[in-house]
Amino acid sequence: MALSEDEQRILRQIEEELQNDSKFAQAVSPSGLYTHSAKTVRLAAVGLVLGLVLLVVFCEFTTSQHS
């Protein structure tokens, strides 16, 4: 289904605006997406390690209280 002239004009406008938006371009570029993913994975790993440390400390504390 072909676009009408008005729809084609609107699409061209949107394309031009997106090309001139450097913040948007950085956000959707592969490096921008991978950077966000890497930060998320790093944060998850830190949370996991912290959770395990707290679990071990809590278990040690509770077992030492009962002995």
| Rounded mean pLDDT, 32-43 | 83
Sign for the pseudo-dihedral over CA of 47, 52, 54, 55: positive
State residue 67's pLDDT score: 60
Token readout for 35 is: 């950077």
Token readout for 4 is: 């009408």
Which pTM value belongs to this model? 0.51
Sign for the pseudo-dihedral over CA of 30, 32, 33, 34: positive
| Rounded mean pLDDT, 34-61 | 92
State residue 33's pLDDT score: 67
Q: What digits encode the pLDDT tens for the residues 2-25?
A: 889 999 999 999 888 888 887 877
